[in-house]
């Protein structure tokens, strides 16, 4: 190496070159952010040398488990020994900017990152100068996000009960988990006429709808172990047995709703180790059951202020509507569904506003007035709407145009709303719901909704979402597809 240095120095001394200030040297690197384990990539190094000429050297020390091969050296001598790569020029290329390339191969499966950089040495005014290339990291192997997707989530959930007297109990629900993130919900089913009040929400949205007590997260707590609690009053219930309460934890894994039953006692050490080793929970066993599909379908209106909770007012009654008006239901259960919301429920819905997009509050949470549809009684018309949309694979958005308790005939909808496009109907929680369109992108569904609003006289169409044909919330669909809400 000293021989290489002496020759240029002698030439410079003999020539008597005067002092010249060089332009600033800049060196940039180009490489992928991440590569697979035990794989290769190309690294490009671009040198903007300014007026620097003559001898120069670029070198870098790599970690163990990495091999380097030359691709483009621009006239330099390449060596790689003892983890050190060297490119040596007796005379730099004439162009002001040039690029060298090398192939980097990871040979050790335990290498997770490689520092890319180096030093560029050159002569300026007979002095050795060194430029340090800014270090960049090349990540090796799957990202943490990808690793989470590869891991099966684990959850064991159990309930603790404290007797407060007078048929009042404090219920604490404990969650021991691994690899849970994103949307999640804890739901307990309490006896009829029981009332519940949250004690510890743990940043969730709490609500009680009929016999269902819920804690809902748009993003589950980061801690593997967390808990929530509430107080339940069984004074007005027929059954005073607190053991009648049952529930489950629901969460998303690989775009599917999973469930873990809430147990009555903590897991034994042996049981917990077995579950951790297998990374299986009752949730995964229920993935394809009818209960899982039903749960996902209920998210549309159970997690948000629902159509059923805000019973749509009927339109000014025509003779047809009067003829089809359902008989009044007088049972205690129906009266309970119509009872005013408690202060606790109202405050919980207000709190939910912090977690929900404006679109959910307008597109999903409300059913427009005058949305109840009556079936006409024209004697000559026999054909009823029976068109049902075949399930679409993955996430699908549609526009809901009407909902009611009775089937209606197509001519009636065309006459009343001037709408003759194709539409579909579905039975959902006691309602017959009418939807149109099929969109893979939320923005397209939003545009379809706006077009229907401006072209037809439906009382407030809104966007709904489906996953494999099961109805879910728009918020959940946006989370699954990584799409953004558009106003």
Q: What ranges do the domains of the chain cover?
A: 2-141, 147-288, 319-481
Among 76-90, 422-436, 449-463, the range of highest mean pLDDT = 76-90
Q: Mean per-residue pLDDT for 227-251?
A: 93
- CA gap 180, 277 in Å, rounded: 16
Of 240, 262, 82, residue with least CA distance to 167:
240
Structure token pair of residue 302: 């159970």
Q: Mean per-residue pLDDT for 287-294?
A: 37
Of 263, 248, 258, residue with least CA distance to 293:
258
- CA gap 434, 426 in Å, rounded: 7
Residue range 85-141, pLDDT digits in tens: 999 999 999 999 999 999 999 999 888 999 999 999 999 888 899 999 999 999 998
Percent of the chain with pLDDT over 90: 39
pLDDT on residue 429:
67
Whether domain 147-288 has CATH 2.60.40.1170: the reply is yes
Residue 188: how many other CB atoms lie within 10 Å: 23
> pLDDT band at 365, cuts 50/70/90?
very low
pLDDT on residue 177:
86
Better pLDDT: 19 or 450: 450
Q: Out of 28-32, 52-56, 307-311, 469-473, which region has the weakest mean confidence (pLDDT)?
A: 307-311
> pLDDT band at 414, cuts 50/70/90?
confident
Residue range 44-99, pLDDT digits in tens: 999 999 889 999 999 999 999 999 999 999 999 999 999 999 999 999 999 999 99
Of 444, 451, 452, residue with least CA distance to 486:
444
CB 194 within 8 A of CB 236: yes
Of 266, 201, 265, residue with least CA distance to 229:
201
- CA gap 474, 471 in Å, rounded: 9
Q: Do domains 2-141 and 147-288 have the same CATH topology?
A: yes
pLDDT on residue 389:
56
> pLDDT band at 159, cuts 50/70/90?
very high
CB 250 within 8 A of CB 214: no
- CA gap 343, 280 in Å, rounded: 40
Whether domain 2-141 has CATH 3.90.1280.10: the reply is no
pTM of the predicted protein model: 0.38
Determine whether 184 is exposed, middle or buried from the number of CB atoms within 10 Å of its CB (0-12, 13-18, 19+). Answer: buried
Q: Check residue 287 and report its DSSP letter.
A: T
Structure token pair of residue 313: 């007012």
Helices (H), 93-187: 144-150
CB 121 within 8 A of CB 25: no
**Statement: residue 340 has pLDDT above 80:** no
Collapsing DSSP to helix, strand or coil, 316 comes out as coil
Q: Check residue 414 and report its DSSP letter.
A: H
């Amino acid at each position: 190496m000293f021989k290489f240095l002496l020759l240029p120095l002698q030439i410079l001394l003999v020539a008597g070159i005067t002092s010249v200030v060089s332009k600033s040297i800049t060196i940039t690197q180009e490489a992928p952010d991440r590569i697979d384990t035990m794989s290769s990539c190309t690294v490009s190094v671009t040198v903007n040398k300014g007026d620097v000429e003559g001898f120069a050297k670029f070198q870098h020390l790599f970690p163990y488990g990495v091999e380097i091969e030359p691709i483009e050296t621009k006239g330099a001598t390449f060596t790689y020994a003892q983890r050190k790569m060297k490119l040596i020029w007796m005379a730099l290329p004439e162009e002001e900017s040039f690029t060298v390339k090398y192939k980097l191969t990871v040979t050790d499966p335990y290498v997770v990152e490689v520092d890319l950089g180096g030093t560029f040495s050159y002569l300026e005014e007979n002095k050795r100068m060194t430029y340090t290339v800014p270090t960049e990291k090349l990540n090796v192997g799957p990202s943490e996000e990808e690793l989470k997707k590869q891991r099966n989530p684990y959850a064991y959930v159990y309930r603790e009960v404290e007797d407060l007297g007078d048929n009042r109990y404090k219920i604490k629900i404990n969650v021991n988990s691994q690899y849970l993130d994103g949307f999640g919900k804890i739901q307990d089913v309490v006896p009829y006429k029981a009332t519940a009040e949250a004690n510890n929400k743990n940043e969730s949205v709490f609500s009680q709808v009929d016999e269902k007590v819920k804690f809902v997260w748009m993003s589950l707590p980061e801690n593997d172990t967390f808990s929530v609690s509430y107080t339940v009053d069984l004074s007005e219930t027929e059954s005073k047995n607190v053991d009648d309460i049952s529930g489950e934890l629901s969460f998303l894994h690989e775009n599917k709703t999973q469930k873990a039953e809430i147990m009555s006692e903590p897991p034994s050490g042996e049981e917990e180790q077995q579950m951790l080793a297998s990374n299986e929970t009752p949730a995964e066993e229920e993935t394809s059951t009818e209960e899982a599909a039903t749960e996902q379908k209920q998210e549309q209106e159970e997690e948000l202020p629902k159509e059923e909770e805000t019973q749509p007012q009927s339109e000014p009654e025509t003779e047809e509507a009067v003829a089809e008006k359902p008989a009044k239901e007088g049972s205690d259960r129906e009266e309970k569904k119509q009872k005013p919301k408690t202060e606790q429920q109202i405050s919980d819905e207000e709190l939910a506003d912090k977690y929900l997009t404006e679109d959910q509050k307008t597109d999903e949470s409300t059913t427009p007035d005058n949305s109840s549809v009556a079936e006409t009684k024209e004697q000559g018309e026999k054909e009823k709407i029976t068109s049902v949309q075949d399930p679409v694979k993955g996430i699908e958005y549609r526009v809901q145009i009407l909902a009611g308790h009775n089937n209606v005939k197509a001519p009636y909808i065309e006459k009343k709303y001037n709408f003759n496009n194709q539409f579909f109907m579905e039975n959902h929680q006691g309602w017959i719901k009418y939807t149109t369109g099929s969109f893979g992108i939320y923005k397209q569904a939003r545009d379809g909704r706006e077009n229907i609003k401006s072209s037809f006289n439906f009382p407030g169409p809104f966007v709904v979402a489906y996953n494999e044909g099961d109805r879910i919330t728009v918020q959940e669909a946006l989370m699954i597809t990584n799409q953004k809400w558009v106003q």
